[in-house]
Structure 1
Amino acid sequence: MTTLDWHADRGAMPDLALLDGAPESAGIDLAAVRSYRLGRVRSEMARRDIDAVILSDPVNVRYATGTRNMQVFTQRNTPARYLLLTADRSILYEFAGCAHLAEGIETVDEVRPAFTASFVSAGPGIAARERAWAKGMAGTLTGLAGAGARVGLERMNAGAAIALAGEGIRVIDAQEPVEMARAIKSDEEVKCIRASLRATERAVAEMRAAIRPGQTENELWSVLVQAVTAGNGDYCETRLLNSGPRTNPWFREAGPRVIGENELICLDTDVVGCHGYYSDFSRTFHSGPEAPTEDQKALYRLAHEQVHHNMSILKAGMSFRDYADAAWDIPERYAPHRYYLSAHGCGMTGEYPYLYHRADFPDAGYDGEILPGMTLCVESFIGAGDGGEGVKLEQQVLITPDGQELLSRFPFEAVLLT
């Protein structure tokens, strides 16, 4: 009997068995994925002499442990659940009534009820609640890591951080070790990414097949959301779908606008899909029924050229600055509405590193090294600064020791490339 053969009359299926037994998990050692990720965080902590981290971002908690619980809710209601991680101990402080969700997860040594120090939970007593939280946490930290422990903290309210420091804990920011840990993917992680992308690509295919003039952007968007959910994806992090004159400038979200005939339709998936991994590619479609105009095709060809040129130069050992210098030159007419990044890291969400355009590097860029095991999304938005439609394209790639491997496989639009 497989985990998917479990019937109601034989008892409830354990959550871990349900997740690990899903069809997209075939051939993936998810225990190895969890073990690798936990090891990565601990390794980056050790490199920085960090005794412990307290993680409250639900994506980072899932990265370090493999546990998930109401991901969107807990992003908004921080700290509804959080993880205390030391070199040899993993304690998950879980939302009320949810301790059972971590059963069978080997990366969690102990589950305790979360002590939520937020104004919503405590009202006018928030300061006292923060001090109580800090006192209890400091006692646990001292017992596990010794007096004066150096502790990485993220996404806690300021009062809690101040109170924790007042207990003699050396508080630092946890972002750097966690982001650096997440940046390098194992072979088993890449299998999760591929599974997430294949499911998302099927969802985008359903959405593309549903395109017709006369429907609203929201109606078209709903096809994608339904298909993502049916394919066991988690959620869409954004709702970046727009049409016609709303395609330029970028970053307009789906709305009630009716899609007209012969318009461009731009999509950025931003799907947190199977296993919690980000499926992040962008495509632009044409609503028909007539053929695209020459202007529409010219925009599309430029975006296609930018993405493929920038993919072609990516290689392990390249510095971020060298990448910026070698990247595609954006024509002056389209530079004002350029996408804010040339490429970015991608794992369970968009992540480190950000690779900036040459023009933006002096003000926004930072240097670093492109490394094997990074998964990057190469971006393009082409829309004239003086108006008209725009085109959004994006590909997701894996950096290998000798180049890169294309991960996103959804086809481009032949009618817009000819």
Structure 2
Amino acid sequence: MTMLETKFSSSNRKIDPSRRRATQFKPDGSVNDNDRVEIGPTDLAFAEWEALGLTPPNLASMREYRLGRIVQQLQQRDLAGILLFDPLNIRYATDSTNMQLWITHNHARACFVSASGYIVLWDFHNCEHLSAHLPLVKEIRGGASFFYFETGDRTHEHAAHFAKEIQSLVKTHGGENQRIAVDKIEIAGLRELDKLGLSIFDGQEVMELARAVKNEDEINAMRCSIASTEIAMREMQKATVPGVTENDIWSVLHAENIKRGGEWIECRILSSGPRTNPWFQECGPRVVKSGELLAFDTDLIGPYGFCADISRTWLIGDVEATQEQRRLYRTAYEHIQHNMEILKPGMTFSEVTESGLLLPPEFRAQRYGVMMHGVGLCDEYPSIRYPEDLAEHGYSGVLEPGMALCVEAYVGEVGGLEGVKLEDQVIITEDGFENLTNYPFEAELLK
């Protein structure tokens, strides 16, 4: 075997059947095996969800649905397949994970999905076992790395070898159709695919539209992730007392997420007092004080890899809020409540913008980047803009049942002492919307 040959390539080995027969299954259909390879919710999470009356997803049917969504998008565009490098797109297509954050900036994993639903996964070296429980993954290979850290001055050589594998797969599963989509790829890889005469189309469009509409299992998974996040937020709020640091408070969210089988947090946007204005300051060593506001955005990837994107603003200490703090909070609260209430299937994105509540003029300069955005495995399509941003950044689209949206607002004046961030996560239903968020708002700030 030469250095450029695939490090491993096989049909997907499954977990020992005798071992499966000897075990029971968890509520989501995964094997109840203390030594299982795949990550997932802990017993603590399952117990809390049961107490809340929540139904976990059926993972097998959720994976089938997702593959069907990708295949539908490929067939609509007459594409032979799609090549994926984005780890969240790979997660959607395969439900496999491996060092998700590291892979985000070191593209050592890839996935090809044919228009007939045949999946090939290229994983990091010696990681075949990580996907052995996934029957929809038909082949596991290695050798998708062609970035300088990994391949140095042989990058184009490795990219050329990988491109020939893709060409072979396209010919096998697409026949004469040489049209494929690609989401993200190193420059060397794109050039080698071009040399082979493959026609490349935008894979991000394919995947964002595939991921946009959730089925019942995905919605159930999202409910579970949000529930775990809200339990973590309660612990976080208990820890929000004068004298601790912003980092002390934020660390609680991380710890409680991991305890329940959550995965990571995309950002660390939490600030207190004067650091709440302007927005987007990340938590640091600042010691919080009584009477100040503390605001945050969870941006949390919880159990099953589902994002729980919730924002809250709390008053620190057992004190009365100022009238200015209440004005900021009520404005943000009324804003997101109105913008949720207008939602229904069939609305165009521009209609949502036009029907939304305008922020008072003094808060528009520091408005949030979107009125609302899609959410699933992370922040996803669509982005729905404020009126001021519609001409430059808006795009067309229609709300559909099964779309999940985060409706949010930041309220703070330029040069103001503090600001307020609020955000709820909803699902579009057949006749309107359902708010999936249950964390309470602050009565003291709504007076």
Aligned partners of 2:308 and 2:291: how far apart in 1?
Answer: 28
SS of match in other structure, 1:324? helix
SS of match in other structure, 2:249? helix
Q: 1:292 to 1:189 in 2, by over 3 A?
A: same
Q: Which residue of 2 aligns with 1:361?
A: 390
Aligned partners of 2:286 and 2:176: how far apart in 1?
Answer: 60
**Contact 1:337 1:385 (8 Å CA) reproduced:** yes
1:348 maps to a residue whose letter is L
SS of match in other structure, 2:365? helix
2:96 aligned to which of 30, 53, 67: 67
Q: Which residue of 1 aligns with 2:234?
A: 205
Aligned partners of 1:260 and 1:67: how far apart in 2?
Answer: 43
Q: Which residue of 1 aligns with 2:86?
A: 57
SS of match in other structure, 1:380? strand
Aligned partners of 2:33 and 2:291: how far apart in 1?
Answer: 54
2:434 maps to a residue whose letter is E
Q: When the two structures are superposed, what TM-score results if normalisation uses the length of structure 2?
A: 0.89
Q: Please, which moves more after superposition, 113-122 or 271-280?
A: 113-122
Q: Which residue of 1 aligns with 2:333?
A: 304
Q: Which residue of 1 aligns with 2:166?
A: 137
Matched, 1:2 2:24: yes
Percentage identity across paired residues of the two chains: 38
Q: Which residue of 1 aligns with 2:136?
A: 107
Aligned partners of 1:181 and 1:20: how far apart in 2?
Answer: 29
Matched, 1:237 2:266: yes
Matched, 1:183 2:212: yes
2:435 aligned to which of 389, 398, 406: 406
Q: Please, which moves more after superposition, 25-34 or 107-116?
A: 25-34
Aligned partners of 1:324 and 1:17: how far apart in 2?
Answer: 39
Q: 1:20 to 1:244 in 2, by over 3 A?
A: closer
Q: Which residue of 1 aligns with 2:201?
A: 172
Q: Any idea what the Cα deviations from partners look like across 1:295-344, whole Å, max 9, x if unmatched?
A: 10110000000000000111100111111111111111100110010000
1:129 maps to a residue whose letter is H
1:335 aligned to which of 364, 376, 389: 364
Q: Which residue of 1 aligns with 2:12?
A: none
Shift of 1:129: 2.2
Q: 1:26 to 1:13 in 2, by over 3 A?
A: farther
5 Å-filtered alignment, 1:14-33, equals 14-16=36-38, 23=46, 27-33=56-62
Aligned partners of 2:314 and 2:174: how far apart in 1?
Answer: 55
**Contact 1:183 1:351 (8 Å CA) reproduced:** yes
Aligned partners of 2:311 and 2:144: how far apart in 1?
Answer: 41
Aligned partners of 2:208 and 2:289: how far apart in 1?
Answer: 42
Q: 1:114 to 1:131 in 2, by over 3 A?
A: closer
Q: Please, which moves more after superposition, 166-175 or 136-145?
A: 136-145
Aligned partners of 2:137 and 2:42: how far apart in 1?
Answer: 16
Shift of 1:115: 3.1
5 Å-filtered alignment, 1:199-348, equals 199-348=228-377
Q: Any idea what the Cα deviations from partners look like across 1:182-201, whole Å, max 9, x if unmatched?
A: 00000111000000000000
Q: Which residue of 1 aligns with 2:4?
A: none
Q: Which residue of 2 aligns with 1:7?
A: none
Matched, 1:381 2:381: no
Shift of 1:248: 0.9
Aligned partners of 1:406 and 1:377: how far apart in 2?
Answer: 10
Structure 2 residue runs without a partner (length 5+): 1-22, 27-31
Shift of 1:11: 8.7
1:40 aligned to which of 69, 88, 92: 69
2:324 maps to a residue whose letter is D
Shift of 1:260: 1.7
**Contact 1:3 1:13 (8 Å CA) reproduced:** no
SS of match in other structure, 1:159? helix
For this pair of structures, how many residues does the alignment match?
412
